[in-house]
Structure 1
């Protein structure tokens, strides 16, 4: 149960935020321009535990649990969660920590949320780095159906055999090979705890549906958001196969914006596998603005 208090540790300030339909858990660390990190998959505020300290010397880094994950509780757990809910949560969260346009780096699901936030709230973000967004609507019609079909197939696998059946489908969908993909050394372990397992369930059962049924998740409103003042940087992982749909989404986004993709270290989860190299590149991109 989250109590309405603020706690400060040596590493971060932890706060709850009441929003319509939920209470969000969020953390801030560091000083400087506000940079919101929006996580991938089942990831909560702690997913980028190795990355945040490397950015806190240059930014006020904000991380949070999406509504329905970990410590961000829903008022009505059976109520569907939409991409609009997630985008509005970002706007409310940023309003708590700054009255200026913020910086945001979104990864996978977090990138899709960032793009929706830029669409729904013009002027909210000055720069958005969208790393391999899970966003079928960015793709041409045939590829869009393939991408959405993969997500639906993962839901079917989860319903039939739980996480043991769904995880192989997820890693194949994202081009991840955890047994062989390279990483930096001395990373904080991310075991598959009961909390992560519950987050996976919410991600697959609820948020996949939000992604595949999102009426605003197309390229045209995203381009309008860019024209309205948000600089959107489409990013890919250096080792993600070009056939992976999230890689295609990033390329399609860049093409729609008339820009080139920026290559980040590692693959789809490069921000957790290569936090030091990711921090260096984020600083280069965001501080050079």
Structure 2
């Protein structure tokens, strides 16, 4: 099933498939509802999986394209989407930017979530001050690089900053191709110009995360370099909420490179009672 949802200042495209408890996927980067099609197929057997295009991407249109979108807009969209599709607390898998949206939801609308898997959230606010300032400058420099030299140069540098090897990374076989077509290029344009700024200006109440009733599971990729800021954010989140950071197959974009293993890990963690730790 797919649909269009009117929110404040935008129309949001979403898809719902499968049966079982509700599981919302918040995508990374320029990813839209199609980004994790392989992962969704493996989760839909026992979950009702909800995916969507963030405002400004693909089929989700802004009423005023020149206004852009704030983090508060993105969070409100997810709040309204969950209200529209389920009347019970859902689980959420948030990847990168999507994980930051999930952290906001856990603080601002905790009644809508029972569990949040936050995979390598791009949330500089989780980091110590000096480290946070360094990575904010990285994001601003990436925006400047994109404006001055275009997507190919910016794409390579973004991959480096996030610890992604776009050429030599390990993948599972039989993945659905996601070519860099016009829709993805437009998505990258909005993501870099707009959503990088949303991250830099984010006002996430980090302290309130300690008290959220939502079960927050910090996560990181097996091959993500340990010095990059997305890995560091996952570790700082784990320390903040007093939870073990859990390892997932692949790196920062493991949800697309290792959908079988990634789905198995999601299913395993969502099935585990609160307080029961794994050794993986």
* Superposition TM-score tier, normalisation by shorter sequence: over 0.9
Deviation (angstroms), 1:55: 0.5
Aligned to 2:233: 249
Distance (whole Å) between structure 1 residues aligned to residue 216 and residue 141 of structure 2: 30
Any idea what SS the aligned residue of 2:164 has? Answer: coil
Confirm or deny that 1:166 pairs with 2:154: yes
Confirm or deny that 1:214 pairs with 2:202: yes
Distance (whole Å) between structure 1 residues aligned to residue 186 and residue 239 of structure 2: 36
Distance (whole Å) between structure 1 residues aligned to residue 234 and residue 2 of structure 2: 32
Q: 106, 123, 134: which is aligned to 1:146?
A: 134
2:117 touches 2:216 (CA, 8 Å); kept in 1? yes
Structure 1: state its 5+ residue gaps: 1-12
Equivalent residues in 2 for 1:195-274 (5 A)?
Answer: 195-215=183-203, 217-225=204-212, 229-274=213-258
Confirm or deny that 1:16 pairs with 2:4: yes
Deviation (angstroms), 1:223: 2.0
Distance (whole Å) between structure 1 residues aligned to residue 236 and residue 3 of structure 2: 37
1:115 touches 1:130 (CA, 8 Å); kept in 2? yes
2:57 touches 2:187 (CA, 8 Å); kept in 1? yes
TM-score by length of 1: 0.93
Aligned to 1:70: 58
Deviation (angstroms), 1:84: 1.0
Equivalent residues in 2 for 1:158-197 (5 A)?
Answer: 158-197=146-185
Aligned to 1:108: 96
Q: Which runs of 4+ in 1 moved over 4 A?
A: none
Q: 24, 27, 32: which is aligned to 1:39?
A: 27
Q: Assess, with a 3 A threshold, how the Cα gap between structure 1 residues 67 and 246 changes in structure 2: closer, same or farther.
A: same
Aligned to 1:9: none
1:38 touches 1:111 (CA, 8 Å); kept in 2? yes
Distance (whole Å) between structure 1 residues aligned to residue 186 and residue 173 of structure 2: 28
Any idea what SS the aligned residue of 1:50 has? Answer: helix
Deviation (angstroms), 1:199: 0.3
TM-score by length of 2: 0.96
Structure 2: state its 5+ residue gaps: 274-280
**Could you give the per-residue CA deviations for residues 51-104 of structure 1, whole angstroms, max 9, x where no partner exists?**
101001110000000000000000001113111111111111011111111100
**Could you give the per-residue CA deviations for residues 159-202 of structure 1, whole angstroms, max 9, x where no partner exists?**
10110221111000111111111000010111001000000000
2:121 touches 2:233 (CA, 8 Å); kept in 1? yes
Aligned to 1:26: 14
1:138 touches 1:218 (CA, 8 Å); kept in 2? no
Distance (whole Å) between structure 2 residues aligned to residue 119 and residue 198 of structure 1: 31
- For the aligned residue pairs, the C-alpha RMSD in angstroms reads 0.9
Q: 35, 46, 50: which is aligned to 1:58?
A: 46
2:107 touches 2:205 (CA, 8 Å); kept in 1? no
**Could you give the per-residue CA deviations for residues 19-53 of structure 1, whole angstroms, max 9, x where no partner exists?**
01000000011011000011000000000011101
1:237 touches 1:270 (CA, 8 Å); kept in 2? yes
Deviation (angstroms), 1:219: 2.3
* Count of aligned positions: 273
